[in-house]
Amino acid sequence: MVGAVGMAMLLNKLQQNWEELAQADPLWAICSDPTKRGRKWDEQEFFATGEREIRTVLKYVQALDLQLDFSAPALDFGCGVGRLTRALAGQFSESWGVDISRTMIAKARDLNRDVPNCRFLLNETDELGALSDSYFGFIYSSIVLQHIGPRLVRKYLNELVRVLKPGGVLVFQITDRFKASFARRLRLKLAVRRRILALAGSWRPEFMYCMKEAQIRSALAYQGVQVCDVRLTNSAEPDFNGSLRFLNDEPGYGFVSKQYCVVKSRDSRIPGQHI
């Protein structure tokens, strides 16, 4: 078990990473299209990628015959500058974005000041204490948990289930594992490090993390939720440009990205479990 001091150190490191990225090139830190590097993202084009992604995800959820409550608030966990929060606001009564970076949250509030039902919250802890139990009907997190260590992922999953309404839907993406020969593995790790170096001016060798599907299912096992579906996605590609695609097969090498769709039980007698 990680003590309070160890958890605080993990959080501080995570926050420092994203503060440096946010200050260097916030839009490219989120969608790393190589042609957009150096603050070349057009804001309208950038937010259009969020609209397309949310349409794709909602269509996917509805294809599973799951009912979404659009009158309930939605949550974008790890919102950055609000690329997906803004898109969710067009579908749900209210859209909340949560992030650990002060700079990202400040930028999100500025860029989305024209969207009255967008709300942004700075959260610097491993709990979502400012958010009420069973408040959100839909929660989405993409290209976020893959940058957080497994111990924190377990804590955050516990919190996301807590703030989800009974019958609500949680969709999140995370990297499952890394596939490659030793030479390819080394080259890709160096490429990831170079990206962080270019943005932040310092090495971040542990910026990508993996949790296997068995670990994710174990983390959710006693929380009163059902894992309805798991899909492969392109979200962990080094040059991900915001165009979410579902894959039929795992990539031949690189990070294997999986998206999980989870529904919270309507039976309030089923307790959650803190991890």
pLDDT of residue 2: 60
* pLDDT at residue 258 tops 70: yes
pLDDT at 206: 42
The pLDDT of residue 274: 33
Q: Give the three-class secondary structure for 30.
A: helix
- Phi first, then psi, for residue 57 (nearest 5°) are -70, -45
pLDDT at 189: 61
CATH of domain 4-264: 3.40.50.150
Q: Rounded to an integer, what is the distance from CA 92 to the centroid of its chain?
A: 18
* Selected residue with higher pLDDT from 190 and 118: 118
What pLDDT digit, counting tens, does each position of 139-178 carry? 999 999 999 999 999 999 999 999 999 999 999 999 999 9
**CB neighbours of 236 closer than 8 A, spacing ≥ 6?**
143, 146, 175, 208, 254, 255, 256, 257
Q: If we measure between CA atoms, which residue out of 21, 1, 22, 2 comes closest to residue 11?
A: 2
Mean pLDDT of 88-94: 98
Assign 229 to helix, strand or coil: strand
Rounded Cα gap, residues 192 and 187, in angstroms = 9
Structure tokens, 210? 């993996």
Given a contact cutoff of 8 angstroms between Cβ atoms, the answer to whether 250 and 213 are in contact is no
Q: What is the pLDDT of residue 200?
A: 45
Nearest partner of 87 among 98, 76, 101, judged by Cα: 76
Between 64 and 8, the more confident residue is 64
Handedness of CA 214, 219, 221, 224 (dihedral sign): negative
- Residue 271's pLDDT band (boundaries 50, 70, 90)? very low
> Token pair for residue 231?
């899909």
Residue 94: pLDDT band by 50, 70, 90 thresholds? very high
Percent of the residues in the chain that have a pLDDT greater than 90, as a whole number: 76
- The answer to whether the Cα torsion of 208, 214, 217, 218 is positive or negative is negative
- Given a cut of 70, is residue 221 above it in pLDDT? yes
- Provide the mean pLDDT of the chain: 89
Q: Where residue 8 falls among pLDDT bands split at 50, 70, 90?
A: confident
- Could you tell me the maximum CA-CA distance found in the chain, to the nearest angstrom? 52
In angstroms, the CA 205 to CA 196 distance is 9
Q: What is the mean pLDDT of residues 224-252?
A: 95
> Which residues, 6+ apart, have CB-to-CB distance to 51 below 8 Å?
86, 87, 90
Q: pLDDT at residue 181 above 90?
A: no
- Look up the pTM and report it: 0.89
d(CA 202, CA 17): 9
Q: Which of 23, 50, 160 is nearest to 115 (CA)?
A: 50
pLDDT in tens, 33-88: 999 999 999 999 999 999 999 999 999 999 999 999 999 999 999 999 999 999 99
Mean pLDDT over 76-104 rounds to: 98
Count CB neighbours of 13 within 10 A.
Answer: 13
The domain limits of the chain are 4-264
Angle at 120 between CA 135 and CA 87, to 5 degrees: 80
* Structure tokens that stand for 73 in this block: 């608030």
Q: Kindly report which listed range (99-113, 197-211, 242-256) carries the lowest average pLDDT score.
A: 197-211
Assigned token pair, 238 = 């080094």
